[in-house]
Chains A and B, each alone.
Chain A
Amino acid sequence: METIKLTIDNRQVEVPKGTTILQAAHQAGINIPSLCYMNLPYLAQEHKPGSCRVCVVEIPGRKNLVPACATECTDEMKVLSHSLRAINARRTVVELLLSDHPKDCLICPSSGNCELQKLSITMGIREINSVENAAMSTYRKDASPALNRNMDKCVMCRSCETVCNEIQTVGALSAVNRGFMSVVAPAFEQELTDSPCTFCGQCVAVCPTGALTAVDNTFHVIRALADPNKYVVVQTAPAVRAALGEEFGYPPGNSVTGKMVAALRSIGFDQVYDTDFAADLTIMEEGTELLDRLSRFLDGDKNVRLPILTSCCPAWVNFFETNYPDMLDVPSTARSPQQMFGAIAKTYMAEKLGIKREDMVVVSVMPCLAKKYECQRDEFKVDGNPDVDYAITTRELAHLIKIGNIDFNTLKEEDFDRPMGESTGAGLIFGVTGGVIEAATRTAYELFTGKKLEKVDFHELRGMEGIRTASVNFDGTYIHIGIAHTLGNARKLLDGIRKGMYNFHAIEIMACPGGCIGGGGQPLHRGNSIVLKARMDAIYKEDFNKPIRKSHENPEIIKLYEEFLGKPLSEKSHKLLHTHYFSHPKK
């Protein structure tokens, strides 16, 4: 590979051709501050609009300063990252950003987690040279069931725009207006709820400031817990345990399941359950549906539509309802684990515990913002009472633990309550891309072939590539599987299917990068792929160590069918565990 030698701040650096100054500096141990730059290598997406101008450096001889993020190194280049000219310019640029930014840091949802705040701190900015009563660009606040937009705090880094359009291909956000009033917004500055937004929350995950934030349900939960007439049960999604530790100083990749359970119990939840249980249930329903469609297809039934698409991911459901209204009969009708959990909790469990439906509050802890939207959809309510009352994110749970004055790090590990806390490794891997289909394969294989599966780990289904395909040998019958994560990759797969390019039997789709571990409700990944990989490894490790790793072997699931549901796809299952989809193409 052709290499280039250059000097940055008197340090010699040798880098491959095509390297930017920012990357080369990083390699040399020089951290040039940046704001709008975002690199998502596993998604092949480098966002470098060169618009914030925070990373400007001086190259003696050039007329102007150059943005380090968007300037390639050339041979013998001399770069000054901290000359007076560069420092003054960078400082002035940050001052300008601050001059048009609300100064309510103390009560900002992103306080302590804000890139602009960090820049101000590192640069030691103490005053902003601006005229008195300088104009501020202010915009209408926009609230949705899942995320809030306060564009007064937008720094026009456009990361959300790239994520929404390039990675997710949702097209809800783009720059509107001009000049000082430029802002990222849905077309015509309409509200998010009127836009094609899927509430995937990836814009929140990459927003460097408090412009895009999640809806906060923490106090609803605290009030419910304090209500003596309410029986509050909680479920925690698989990806939550793999990231919650990061909020308490653990390095990424440390699963904190036991501590999390202890904390939830300490907070005062009456029952601490696991969404993994519902994931196992999902496999029973969805897996049976797959086998049913598959057997009919293999028998030559022309009315069967394949591939079957997973339906666990609510952002994905929103996406196909908006973009593929002609394909509503393709996805599995199985509800997501969150909703299956709620439906079972408020029927089977409530009955068992002797509690009236309306007195039970189901809280879910999710890595996801779209779950907040999902749980308030009308089809998941009975007489106005939702199956899941409040969805909170991993970050909200961390707040809840802190508000509960709990020293997380010294907590002793505890186990989930039974029965709805019993789960398998299959339920756990729902949290990563490829996990749902792997879990389904583990069960479908045994049900289809009638043989015991010896090799439980399907490495061919794992990984970070955006679109993956594999053929799994079901004792002579090859099952073709497609996997996509991010909605942009989902669109590629779907468009291919529309054109008849693929012959998949089953497809798994997750809206977020890496699956739920990269969800918009997690500790903000800001595009850091190392963090995502570590969370993924933690999940697979925990699965590996689970005594039971196939959903249909979950004893509590077996009992649930015996005592209550009958069998998968039974009438009761259909009523409680399945759903239907609505076409709502957006303007």
Chain B
Amino acid sequence: MYKMQLLVCSGTGCRASASATIVEKLNESLKAHQLTEEAQVVTTGCFGFCEKGPIVKVIPDNTFYTQVKPEDAEEIVTEHILKGRKVSRLLYEDPENKEHIIDSKHMGFYQKQMRIALRNCGVIDPENIDEYIVRDGYSALAQVVTDLTPEQAIDMVKQSGLRGRGGAGFPTGLKWEITSKFSSDQKYVVCNADEGDPGAFMDRSILEGDPNSIIEAMAICGYCIGATKGLVYIRAEYPLAIKRLEIAIGQAREYGLLGNNIFGSKFSFDMELRYGAGAFVCGEETALIASMEGKRGEPRVKPPFPAESGYMHKPTNVNNVETFANVPVIFLKGPEWYSAIGTEKSKGTKVFALAGKINNVGLIEVPMGITLREIIYEIGGGIKNGKNFKAVQTGGPSGGCLTEAHLDTPIDFDSLVAAGSMMGSGGMIVMDEDDCMVSIAKFYLEFIVEESCGKCTPCRIGNKRMLEILEKITQGKGSMEDLDHLRNLAYVIKDTSLCGLGQSSPNPVLSTLENFYDEYVAHVKDKRCFAKQCKAMAKYTINPDVCTGCTICARNCPVDAITGEKREPHFIHQEICTHCGVCYQKCKFNAINVE
């Protein structure tokens, strides 16, 4: 049994600064001091503190050494392991009071990620309601229905500053208040679990990891707005989430946490599931309601808002999964506690699905106001393969691409919109120097064209036309005039579309036109793609000095554009070449150049 363990970060950042050598040196040193039975060196995944890497952590005392160099290994072993004295010069220094922090648990860094919505995910067994109850589950509901009036409860949600996590960021308390004011024989609470942004899966994770929190929150909402019926609109391709939600609903009913006279009060509430077929537009609340009613899933003109006339023409409050997941915490910890987190106008945390050219792809939850730099370089562990950061796309297919210039902007609902993107449901896709921004815009537009419901003209035809222009540009056939048309179309679609999907659909185009205009111009004027992604524009040539004349390129060229004698340098005939890139992939000697 080891008494001590030395954890050495082998995340990309730390590895780049010689963490492998540190491991080597530590092992050598342990051996030299005959400590191999006492202590073990272990490599770990990214600590997410790449800024101060390489990191070495010693357990069990949780000592956290930063910016360790290979030559420090000996000192760590002799001082700390052998003599039990911490090497204070390597300890993390608090940036504010300059004190050395010994125990990593007290480091500010760990507040970078704060799990509120995901508080129980990965902690409890989602199929056992008891585990939720042990973690204070349903006590918010109990408190609300027994001690508070609906008005008081709504006030607390308003005070917390919680805003809808589905994308637009409408204040949740206000939404509840508006719905509560309409009187009707029946009202509905709807949970929007039609998570449609490609790559976003926080709602699924919450439903799969903590379904009871949604049930509890929906019941609280029902009490506040005067609804006795809850509906979860969930996509049918989330079978596990459906199963766990059904189990949770069943268990809640057995405990009487759903049903009549909850906690002995006059409040009754029950809920059921409605399945969606996975249309992106059904995440828009009026389309979602139409779909639940068995109609074609397409949005309608608002007003009337669902708060007045929603499901079956009854007052309906629609919130997204993540929004609901935050609700019980507001009552457990108090609205003041909640509103202390985040920025002035965006309170609390936001879950992001971090993806793309980033080392630590993952589901993260961070307080509002964190910078993109912190997310990408600290939590995300930086860009893959040491490449350069180029852009980050937030807000799903209808969000925008932000650049290096935005890296230090504290992100919240409003700052993202101001920067030409949006929060959306929390997709965050990182791009590096190998990504062509025109192709990226095209990719998102393809999704939008696929998912447009076809109701209004600008979205139905306009997006198709924008896509056609982008296709033309990426094929090297674009003109400067096309860029003007593209911009005009984008503005008109944004200005005239019926629903939020259409209105935000040009964002990827507009933000890339804004931030990467030179790339567009290069495609159009110079017929060049910096990232070499637009194959139609690539010029493939053979470097005669490297070519061995193996003939593999000529044999694989689908259009016989390559000629040459065996063991002699080959040649690509540009007038025949279709830029398919097969020669480039096949060549074993890196003899093919791409321009």
Contact = CB atoms under 8 A, between A and B. Distances in A.
B449 A96 contact: no
A156 B496 CA distance: 16
Contacts of A52: 456-457
A221 to B, nearest CB: 39
B465 A134 contact: yes
B453 interface: yes
B185 to A, nearest CB: 24
B482 A131 contact: yes
B454 interface: yes
A156 B468 contact: no
B496 A93 contact: yes
Given A52-B456, A174-B296, A180 B489 contact: no
Contacts of A54: 457
Given A178-B452, A179-B453, A96 B458 contact: yes
Interface string B366-386: 000000000000000000000
A67 B301 contact: yes
A181 B461 contact: no
B301 A50 contact: yes
Interface residues of A, number: 37
Chain B at the A interface: mostly helix, strand, loop or mixed?
helix
B89 to A, nearest CB: 56
A410 B280 CA distance: 61
A111 interface: no
B472 interface: yes
A156 B485 CA distance: 24
Interface stretch (A84-92, A188-196, A212-220, A398-406): A84-92
Contact of B496 (A65, A129, A178): A65
A156 B459 CA distance: 12
B303 to A, nearest CB: 8
Contacts of A92: 458, 462, 488-489, 492
Interface in A51-102: 51-54, 56, 64-65, 67, 70, 72, 85, 88-89, 92-93, 96-97, 99-100
A51 B300 CA distance: 9
A180 B456 contact: no
Task: Classify chain B's interface size.
Answer: 35 or more
A503 interface: no
B15 interface: no
Interface string B450-476: 111111111011101100110010000
B503 A64 contact: yes
Contacts of A50: 300-301, 456, 498
B495 A100 contact: no
Given A88-B488, A131-B472, A134-B468, A182 B496 contact: no
A156 B457 contact: yes
Nearest to B465: A130
B497 interface: yes
B57 interface: no
Contacts of A174: 296
B418 to A, nearest CB: 13
A51 B455 contact: yes
Interface in A276-317: none
Contacts of B482: 131
Given A89-B495, A93-B496, A180 B449 contact: yes
A121 interface: no
B491 to A, nearest CB: 8
B495 A64 contact: yes
A135 interface: yes
A149 B272 CA distance: 42
Contacts of B461: 96-97, 99-100, 180
Q: Which of A72, A175, A177 has the most CB of B within 10 A?
A: A175
A178 B468 contact: no
B163 interface: no
Contact of A131 (B279, B456, B468): B468
Given A96-B462, A96-B465, A99-B465, A179 B456 contact: no
A48 B301 CA distance: 9
A373 B296 CA distance: 31
Nearest to A48: B301
A179 B451 contact: yes
Contacts of A97: 457, 461
Contacts of B296: 174-175
Interface in A177-229: 177-182
A49 interface: yes
B494 interface: yes
Contacts of A51: 455-457, 498
Nearest to B479: A131
Interface in B554-584: none
Contacts of B457: 51-54, 93, 96-97, 155-156
Contact of B460 (A70, A85, A135, A182): A182
A182 B453 contact: yes
Contacts of B453: 178-179, 182
Nearest to A96: B461
Contacts of A49: 300-301, 455
Contacts of B451: 178-179
A101 to B, nearest CB: 10
Contact of A53 (B450, B464, B494, B496): B496
Contacts of B489: 92
A88 B492 contact: yes
Given A64-B503, A93-B492, A156 B458 contact: no
A70 B464 contact: no
B486 to A, nearest CB: 10
Contacts of B458: 53, 92-93, 96
A434 to B, nearest CB: 33
Nearest to B295: A174
Q: Which of B469, B489, B492, B497 has the most CB of A within 10 A?
A: B492
B524 to A, nearest CB: 13
Interface in A160-185: 174-175, 177-182
Interface string B293-308: 0001010110100000
Interface in B298-341: 298, 300-301, 303
Interface in B36-93: none
A179 B450 contact: yes
Interface in B485-529: 485, 488-489, 492, 494-498, 503
B454 A180 contact: yes
A54 B495 CA distance: 12
Nearest to A64: B495
A180 B464 contact: yes
B497 to A, nearest CB: 7
Given A130-B465, A182-B455, A156 B460 contact: yes
Contacts of B469: 131
A586 B495 CA distance: 43
A178 B301 contact: no
Contacts of A53: 456-458, 496-498
B115 to A, nearest CB: 34
Contacts of B460: 156, 179-180, 182
Contacts of A135: 464, 468
Nearest 10 A/B pairs, CB to CB: A182-B454, A50-B301, A179-B452, A96-B461, A92-B492, A70-B301, A53-B496, A180-B464, A131-B468, A51-B456
Given A50-B300, A51-B498, A93-B457, 16 more contacts: A48-B301, A49-B300, A52-B457, A53-B457, A67-B498, A89-B495, A93-B458, A96-B465, A135-B464, A156-B455, A156-B460, A175-B455, A177-B454, A178-B453, A180-B460, A182-B453
Interface of A: 48-54, 56, 64-65, 67, 70, 72, 85, 88-89, 92-93, 96-97, 99-100, 129-131, 134-135, 155-156, 174-175, 177-182
25 contacts: A49-B301, A50-B300, A50-B498, A51-B456, A53-B456, A64-B494, A67-B301, A72-B303, A89-B495, A92-B458, A92-B489, A93-B458, A100-B461, A130-B485, A131-B469, A131-B472, A131-B482, A175-B298, A178-B452, A178-B453, A178-B454, A179-B449, A179-B454, A180-B449, A182-B454
